[in-house]
Homo-oligomer: A and B are copies of this chain.
Amino acid sequence: MYAFGSRGNTGPNFNLLLLIISQLGLHTVEGVWPLPQALASSAERYSLNPQAFDFAYGKRSAAQQGCSVLDAAFKRYFTLIFQDYTSGRWNTGLETFSQLVYQDDSGSYFVNKTEIDDFPRFQFRGILLDTSRHYLPVQAILKTLDAMAYSKFNVLHWHIVDDPSFPYQSYTFPDLSSKGAFHPVTHIYTQSEVRRVISFARLWGIRVLPEFDSPGHTKSWGKGQSNLLTPCYRGGTPSGTFGPINPVLPSTYQFMERLFKEVSSLFPDSYIHLGGDEVDFSCWRSNPTVRSFMQKMRFGVDFTKLQAFYMENIVNITSALNKTSVVWQDVFDYHKRRSSLSVVEVWREGCYLCEVRKVTKAGLRVILASPWYLDQAGPKHNWARYYSVWPLAFKGSEEQKKLVIGGEVCMWGEYVDATNLAPRLWPRASAAAERLWSDEKQTSSVAKAFPRLQDFRCMRGIQAEPLTIGHCQHEYLGV
């Protein structure tokens, strides 16, 4: 009943051909989110009998029985589609198809005859969660993964540590969390919890991309690891405060190598995010040891060279661990030897497409985040703003456009924790999701998208806030 076809290795691509049982009547399909690349729906309606319903792997599909991700998806979607039907049957379908199934007043299930050809526009469709500024309980992360899958997001960018706290529990350096987390027991992620997140994500078709941002944004690292941060000086003596990671000590790189070795083996994804944003040079500048290192290296007074030196060392460490590194755009901006970089995440406001153009011109891959900073709230930050983003609207060659591998919704944690994460993400993140999944020409109209998104936000019991006055058939009750 379901045919899968593969179009290379860029995500969950499939063609759907729905051949269903018996025709019954007419129904207007209310819409699917994000919009498939091609969807031809007819008025022909078929009834679905949960007891006779089955999904099978297509004969020509690259995936075959035993594929744990699809098997798990079948199970999940069977329950989602046939909500009233609580048998132990495990075969189910997928998101787009499930959104096409509806019930009549008597509770029977129907689907209209529909042909779907679908694949993602961009291979990288991410959401960044920040667990340093506020700790997010694992349950909140799993709930987010669940909601992400409904919008076809496929990357969780886990900004796991930062200045305020270090909740990642390292085996190699246990003091990092025991001294650097908000609480050494209740506000940490154990390795088994991290594994739980990763394996849950995997079954939803979501990669987990960890970020260990350095050399800035590392205040919390210093609490559990002495001699890691740069001692700042005032008037020729140490002031007692600390700056970015100290780039002049060999011990720094030994530490980072051991940390990334552990992290690389725990997080199976081929990407790793190294941060590199917003480094404040004032502390480095104040430190006499750093200054004499600068002289020795002939960096003059250009501290961007020192940061480039540091980042190149970190990139080399992770390359040796077979990881593709992602860095924030700052690293690209000051780097001379750009060929050592791989993927650049563009995050600054202003002409972000100018930056995308520059990065792709240098032959590097781009993840676009600037227009999708959803941690911001208020009337100006509505879904339509996040929908009206055109990631490829810059002057550049076809090769350059191909280097834009996707985009990312950033949910920074200054004002966000488990109390407000879900309604701040949803349904606004779904607007970005459609931009990243669907064909741009078919989804250029905010007005046309509106009723589909209205329907979508009520689905699945996600705590998605309202777009405007109205109601859901089933109101959110998890209050």
Point out residues on A near B: beta carbons under 8 Å: 133-135, 137, 139-140, 143, 164-165, 182-183, 186-187, 376-381, 413-423, 463-471, 473-479
Contact = CB atoms under 8 A, between A and B. Distances in A.
B423 A419 contact: yes
Contact of A479 (B139, B415, B468, B477): B139
Of listed A187, A423, A469, residue having the most chain B CB within 10 A: A469
A419 B164 contact: no
Main secondary structure of the interface of A (DSSP, over half): loop
Contacts of A143: 479
Of listed A133, A377, A381, A473, residue having the most chain B CB within 10 A: A377
10 contacts: A133-B469, A137-B475, A137-B477, A183-B473, A377-B378, A414-B469, A417-B465, A419-B463, A419-B466, A478-B478
Contacts of A418: 475-477, 479
Given A378-B380, A380-B378, A381-B378, A422 B479 contact: yes
Contacts of A140: 479
Nearest to A426: B419
B380 A416 contact: no
A190 to B, nearest CB: 16
Nearest to A417: B466
Given A134-B471, A137-B475, A420-B420, 11 more contacts: A137-B477, A139-B479, A183-B473, A186-B473, A376-B379, A377-B377, A378-B379, A414-B469, A416-B465, A417-B466, A421-B479
Contacts of A139: 477, 479
B414 A468 contact: yes
A415 B466 contact: yes
B183 A471 contact: yes
Of listed A378, A380, A464, residue having the most chain B CB within 10 A: A378
A467 B420 CA distance: 12
Contacts of A422: 419, 479
B165 A465 contact: no
A216 to B, nearest CB: 16
Nearest to A164: B469
A65 B380 CA distance: 54
A165 B471 contact: yes
A187 B471 contact: yes
Going nearest first, the 9 A-B pairs with the smallest beta carbon separation are: A378-B378, A420-B423, A182-B471, A420-B465, A140-B479, A377-B377, A133-B469, A419-B476, A419-B463
A135 B475 contact: yes
Contacts of A478: 478
Contacts of A468: 414-415
A464 B419 contact: yes
Contacts of A376: 378-379
A137 B479 contact: yes
A26 B393 CA distance: 65
Contacts of A415: 465-468
Contact of A413 (B164, B420, B469, B479): B469
Of listed A186, A422, A470, A479, residue having the most chain B CB within 10 A: A479
A478 B478 CA distance: 8
A475 B378 contact: no
Contacts of A378: 376-381
A469 B423 contact: no
Contacts of A137: 475, 477, 479
Contacts of A377: 377-379
Contacts of A421: 479
A137 B471 CA distance: 11
Contact of A423 (B165, B187, B423): B423
A419 B471 contact: no
Contacts of A164: 469-470
B134 A469 contact: yes
A468 B465 CA distance: 22
